[in-house]
C-alpha cells in the first residue's frame, strides 16, 4: 500500500494546480487520471486564454480578475516557457455590445488600452468597433503547462472505480491518503453532490497551420489566438448538457472557422488537429472549492431542511473538491488550487464566493429532483 498525504483525482488544470500548492506546503501528493495529463475534459480542448473579464463590476468579474492577476504572475514566475503574453483583444459582437463596452470602461482596473478600428485593421483584424486590448493577457500551451506543473509530483494514469474511507484514510486500489481531492470536472460517480449543480458544456478547438502574421490574440464570440510557432488556435464552447461529443457533425469546426474568417484572413489556414472536451461549470458560474457536504446524512437526519430548516452542515471527512472553473480554467486554476491548499494544510477559511456550501440549503428547498 502506497501512502500519501493527499490524492488528487483529475489531471486537468484544477487538479494540477491543487496538487502543486499542496506539495508546495510540504505534503506528499499523488495525482491520478484515467486519460492522462490534460488529455480529456475541458483542459484538453482549452484554448487556455489567460485574460481579465469585462463587465459592470459584478462579484464574478471581481473574482475573475483577481484570479487573472494571480495566474498571470504564477505562470510568468514558474512556467513562462508555456505562457505567451500575446495580449488579448476583447471585441464587441455587434453595435449593441459596443454600447455596453462604453459602460464597462469604468469598472475595469486591469491594464488595458482602447483600440480603434484603424488600429485593429493594422493588426490584421477586420473590425469596425472600438475594442479593449489587455496587453498583459496571453495564451497557455494547455497540456505542456499541466505537465510542467506536475513535473515534481507523483502521477499515475489510473481509473478510479471504487474507493473507501477507513481509520482516517481514503483507500483507492493500492493507494491510500488522508485527504482526497476531486477535480474530475463534469463527471462525478462517487458522491451525491447534486447541490453543486455541476454541468458540462462541450467545447471544440482547431489548431491551424498558417503563415498569417498575427501577433495578438482576440475574442469575439469565439477565441482566435496569435500565431505561435506557425499555429493559430480557434476555439469556442458549444452545447450544454449533451452526452456525446458534437465537435464534427460531419464537417469539423465549419461554423467556428466561418466566424474566424470574418475576423482575420484565414485563406491559408490548414487544419492540423481538432480537440474536443467537456468543461464544467456550477449553477452560479463561480468555481467550487472546499469541503463536500454529506448530502445523504443531512437529508435523512434533518428532513425539515426541505422546508427551510438550517441545521449545522455535516461534511464528509477529509474530502475536498476543486471544480466548476468553467471556460476560464487557466485563469481560475492556480488561485483556486492555492485556496484549497490553504484550507487543507492551514485550515484557512475558503473564500465564501467559491465555497460550495453556498449552494446547499437553496438546493434543498428548491431542487425539483428531491422527493418532498
Comparing 27-31, 204-208, 340-344, which segment has the lowest mean pLDDT?
204-208
Comparing 277-281, 356-360, 361-365, which segment has the lowest mean pLDDT?
277-281
Q: Could you tell me the CATH number of the domain that includes residue 154?
A: 3.50.50.60
Which residues are registered as beta bridge partners of 50? 138
For the stretch 78-107, pLDDT in tens is 999 999 999 999 999 888 888 888 888 888
* pLDDT range class, residue 253, cuts 50, 70, 90: confident
- Which pLDDT value is given to residue 106? 81
**Helix orientation angle between 329-346 and 13-24, rounded to the nearest 10 degrees:** 40
Question: Quick check: is 231 in a domain?
Answer: no
Block residue for cell numbers 489566438 = 225
Contact 31, 16 (CB under 8 A): yes
Integer Cα distance of 234 and 179 in angstroms: 38
Highest mean pLDDT among 19-28, 99-108, 152-161: 19-28
Question: Quick check: is 112 in a domain?
Answer: no
Question: Quick check: is 28 in a domain?
Answer: yes
User: What stretches of the chain show up as alpha helix (H) in DSSP?
Assistant: 13-24, 41-45, 59-78, 95-104, 117-122, 142-149, 254-261, 295-301, 329-346, 360-366
User: Could you give the strand order of the β-sheet that contains 138-140, starting from the edge strand earlier in sequence?
Assistant: 49-50, 138-140, 83-84
Residue 11, pLDDT above cutoff 80:
yes
Integer Cα distance of 117 and 126 in angstroms: 8
Greater confidence (180 vs 239) lies with 180
Average pLDDT over residues 124-148: 92
Average pLDDT over residues 226-237: 92
For the stretch 259-294, pLDDT in tens is 899 999 999 999 998 888 888 999 899 999 999 999
Question: Residue 58's closest CA among 359, 285, 335?
Answer: 285
What is the torsion angle, in degrees rounded to the nearest 10, for the CA atoms of residue 284, residue 289, residue 291 and residue 297? 20
- Name the grid cell of 120: 485593429
Radius of gyration of the chain, Cα coordinates, nearest whole angstrom: 21
Which residues are registered as beta bridge partners of 180? 7, 319
- Which pLDDT value is given to residue 232? 96
Question: Quick check: is 87 in a domain?
Answer: no
- Name the grid cell of 78: 514558474
Query: How do beta strands 2-9 and 29-33 pair?
Result: parallel
Q: In terms of residue numbers, what domain contains 193?
A: 2-42+144-198+283-366
Residue 129, pLDDT above cutoff 90:
no
- Which pLDDT value is given to residue 371? 62
Scored b (16 or more CB within 10 A) or e, 320-351 reads: bbbbbbbbbbbbbbbbbbbbbbbbbbeeeebb
The neighbour count for residue 204, using CB atoms within 10 Å, is 24
Question: Quick check: is 55 in a domain?
Answer: no
- Which pLDDT value is given to residue 299? 94
Integer Cα distance of 342 and 355 in angstroms: 13
Element of type H or E holding 220: strand 217-220
Question: For the chain, how many residues are written?
Answer: 372
Sign of the alpha-carbon dihedral angle for 151, 156, 161, 163: negative
Question: Quick check: is 119 in a domain?
Answer: no
- If one counts the domains in the chain, the total is 1
* pLDDT range class, residue 351, cuts 50, 70, 90: very high
The neighbour count for residue 304, using CB atoms within 10 Å, is 10
- Which pLDDT value is given to residue 250? 43
- Which pLDDT value is given to residue 372? 52
Query: How do beta strands 222-224 and 231-240 pair?
Result: antiparallel
Task: Round the average pLDDT of the chain to a whole number and report it.
Answer: 91
Comparing 11-20, 103-112, 150-159, 334-343, which segment has the lowest mean pLDDT?
103-112
Question: Quick check: is 244 in a domain?
Answer: no
- Which pLDDT value is given to residue 346? 97
Burial (CB count within 10 angstroms: exposed 0-12, middle 13-18, buried 19+), residue 277: buried
The neighbour count for residue 192, using CB atoms within 10 Å, is 15
Residue 125, pLDDT above cutoff 50:
yes
Percent of the chain whose predicted confidence (pLDDT) is above 90:
67
For the stretch 30-65, pLDDT in tens is 999 998 888 878 888 888 999 999 989 899 999 999
- Give the C-alpha distances (Å, rounded to integers) separating 331 from 142, 168, 178, 354: 12, 34, 29, 14
Question: Quick check: is 372 in a domain?
Answer: no
Integer Cα distance of 233 and 246 in angstroms: 18
Residue 66, pLDDT above cutoff 70:
yes
- Which pLDDT value is given to residue 275? 87
At residue 227, the 3 state secondary structure works out as coil
Amino acid at each position: 500500500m502506497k501512502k500519501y498525504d493527499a490524492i488528487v483525482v483529475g489531471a486537468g488544470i484544477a487538479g494540477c494546480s491543487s496538487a502543486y500548492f499542496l506539495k508546495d506546503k510540504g505534503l506528499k501528493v499523488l495525482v491520478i487520471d484515467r486519460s492522462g495529463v490534460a488529455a480529456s475534459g475541458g483542459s484538453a480542448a482549452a484554448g487556455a486564454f489567460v485574460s481579465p473579464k469585462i463587465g459592470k463590476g459584478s462579484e464574478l468579474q471581481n473574482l475573475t480578475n483577481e484570479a487573472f492577476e494571480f495566474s498571470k504572475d504564477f505562470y510568468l514566475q514558474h512556467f513562462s516557457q508555456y505562457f505567451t503574453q500575446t495580449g488579448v483583444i476583447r471585441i464587441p459582437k455587434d453595435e449593441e455590445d459596443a454600447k455596453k463596452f462604453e459602460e464597462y470602461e469604468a469598472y475595469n482596473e486591469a491594464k488595458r488600452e482602447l483600440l480603434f478600428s484603424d488600429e485593429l485593421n493594422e493588426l490584421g483584424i477586420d473590425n469596425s468597433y472600438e475594442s479593449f486590448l489587455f496587453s498583459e493577457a496571453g495564451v497557455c500551451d494547455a497540456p505542456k503547462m499541466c505537465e510542467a506543473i506536475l513535473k515534481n509530483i507523483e502521477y499515475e494514469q489510473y481509473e478510479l472505480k471504487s474507493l473507501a474511507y477507513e481509520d482516517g484514510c481514503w483507500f483507492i486500489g493500492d493507494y491510500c491518503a488522508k485527504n482526497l481531492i476531486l477535480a474530475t470536472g463534469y463527471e462525478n460517480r462517487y458522491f451525491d453532490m447534486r447541490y453543486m449543480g455541476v454541468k458540462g458544456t462541450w467545447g471544440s478547438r482547431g489548431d491551424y497551420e498558417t503563415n498569417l502574421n498575427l501577433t495578438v490574440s482576440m475574442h469575439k464570440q469565439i477565441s482566435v489566438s496569435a500565431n505561435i510557432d506557425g499555429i493559430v488556435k480557434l476555439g469556442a464552447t458549444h452545447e450544454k448538457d449533451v452526452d456525446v461529443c458534437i465537435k464534427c457533425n460531419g464537417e469539423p469546426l465549419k461554423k467556428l472557422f466561418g466566424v474566424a474568417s470574418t475576423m482575420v484572413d484565414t485563406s491559408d489556414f490548414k487544419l492540423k488537429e481538432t480537440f474536443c472536451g467537456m468543461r464544467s461549470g456550477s449553477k452560479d458560474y463561480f468555481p467550487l472549492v472546499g469541503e463536500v457536504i454529506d448530502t445523504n446524512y443531512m437529508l435523512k437526519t434533518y428532513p425539515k431542511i426541505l422546508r427551510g430548516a438550517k441545521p449545522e452542515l455535516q461534511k464528509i471527512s477529509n474530502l475536498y473538491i476543486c471544480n466548476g472553473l468553467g471556460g476560464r480554467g487557466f485563469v481560475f486554476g492556480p488561485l483556486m488550487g492555492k485556496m484549497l491548499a490553504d484550507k487543507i494544510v492551514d485550515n484557512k477559511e475558503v473564500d465564501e464566493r467559491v465555497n460550495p456550501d453556498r449552494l446547499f440549503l437553496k438546493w434543498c428547498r428548491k431542487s425539483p429532483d428531491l422527493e418532498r
